[in-house]
């Protein structure tokens, strides 16, 4: 698929374009107001966005190949006036090769049970999420309640799978993934801060890439990579990977083993 035209437009005998994709391609989406960028200080950010209560996975995949992501019922693509540093990144699972440090993380977590299931909201999951947020963002005051959490991460907007990581009966980490025939897309991941030394974030990506391969799905999408943003730097550690530039997926430069 590298460097090739969008498959929806590549052949005359291809199925009709979904009306939503026509709307997107016609650049008729509303823009959000400018706001301070959460990744790069001193910059302004805005999105093209729309809301949808439900969307089939194949259409969402086509949207991701147009630079879109999902947050709850909002589907958005970055559309900043003076910046193009938010770049979608995906890993072709057939050619993925873990680094030495990533393999060490795999060995460290060999005692965990990894389970894929339909998303199941529980009080334990919400408690884990709250402890994770307090650890990751200690200076940010949040008033998100259980129902808001359920609506943002557990509403069935597209075909979503929950991956749980457990040590015996103890839940250590959770990932939410959107699934279709051509892609598995990472939505959100949170873990128990008391086990931060395990490298659960790294282990989850490795396990999910492997799981994606077992499904016969060719790509694992990691969302936006932002050059210069420390919180997004880790995504480039999984490779070989591809980035979406000018509407085409292109191989990224090799990274150190």
Q: Are residues 141 and 222 in the same domain?
A: yes
Mean pLDDT of the chain: 90
**Contact between residue 3 and residue 248 where contact means Cβ atoms under 8 Å apart:** yes
Residue 256 falls inside a structural domain: no
Phi, psi angle pair for 247, to nearest 5°: 80, 5
Q: Are residues 101 and 169 in the same domain?
A: yes
Q: Are residues 194 and 246 in the same domain?
A: yes
Residue 257 falls inside a structural domain: no
Strand-strand pairing, 219-226 and 183-191: parallel
Specify the range with the lowest mean pLDDT, choosing from 54-58, 125-129, 139-143. Answer: 139-143
> How confident is the model over 137-191, as pLDDT tens digits?
776 666 778 888 888 899 889 999 999 999 999 999 999 999 999 999 999 999 9
User: Tell me, what's the pLDDT at 138?
Assistant: 74
255 — pLDDT class (breaks 50, 70, 90) = low
Q: Are residues 121 and 243 in the same domain?
A: yes
Residue linked to tokens 């959107």: 178
CA distance 256 to 178: 29
What is the span of the domain harbouring residue 201? 91-251
Domains contained in the chain, number: 2
Residue 194 falls inside a structural domain: yes
Residue 2 falls inside a structural domain: no
Give the CATH number, domain containing residue 238.
Answer: 3.40.630.30
Q: Percent of the chain at pLDDT above 90?
A: 74
Q: What is the mean pLDDT of residues 44-68?
A: 95
Query: Which residue, of 31, 60, 86, is where some domain finishes?
Result: 86
Q: Are residues 151 and 219 in the same domain?
A: yes
Query: Which residue, of 29, 62, 86, is where some domain finishes?
Result: 86
User: Tell me, what's the pLDDT at 3?
Assistant: 45
231 — pLDDT class (breaks 50, 70, 90) = confident
Better-predicted residue by pLDDT, 206 or 41:
206
User: Tell me, what's the pLDDT at 227?
Assistant: 87
Q: Which two tokens stand for residue 201?
A: 């974030």
CA distance 226 to 26: 26
Residue 11 has pLDDT above 50, yes or no: no
Query: Which residue, of 46, 68, 86, is where some domain finishes?
Result: 86
């Amino acid at each position: 698929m590298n460097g090739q035209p969008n498959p929806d437009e590549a052949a005359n005998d291809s199925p009709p374009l979904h009306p939503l994709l026509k709307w997107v391609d016609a650049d008729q989406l509303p823009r959000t107001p400018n706001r301070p960028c959460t990744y790069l200080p001193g910059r302004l950010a805005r999105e093209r966005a729309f809301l949808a209560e439900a969307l089939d996975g194949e259409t969402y995949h086509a949207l991701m190949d147009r630079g879109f992501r999902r947050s709850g019922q909002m589907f958005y693509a970055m559309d900043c006036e003076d910046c193009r540093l938010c770049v979608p990144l995906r890993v072709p699972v057939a050619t993925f090769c873990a680094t030495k440090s990533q393999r060490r993380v795999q060995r460290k977590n060999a005692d965990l049970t990894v389970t894929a299931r339909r998303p199941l909201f529980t009080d334990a999951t919400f408690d884990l999420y709250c402890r994770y947020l307090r650890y990751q963002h200690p200076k940010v005051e949040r008033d998100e309640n259980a129902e808001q959490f359920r609506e943002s991460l557990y509403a069935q907007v597209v075909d979503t799978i929950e991956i749980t990581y457990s040590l015996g009966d103890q839940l250590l980490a959770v990932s939410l993934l959107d699934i279709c025939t051509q892609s598995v897309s990472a939505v959100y991941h949170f873990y128990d801060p008391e086990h931060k030394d395990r490298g659960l974030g790294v282990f989850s990506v490795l396990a999910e890439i492997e799981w994606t391969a077992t499904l016969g799905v060719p790509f694992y999408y990691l969302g936006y990579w932002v050059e210069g943003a420390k919180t997004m730097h880790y995504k480039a550690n999984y490779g070989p990977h591809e980035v979406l530039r000018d509407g085409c997926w292109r191989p990224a430069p090799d990274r150190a083993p």
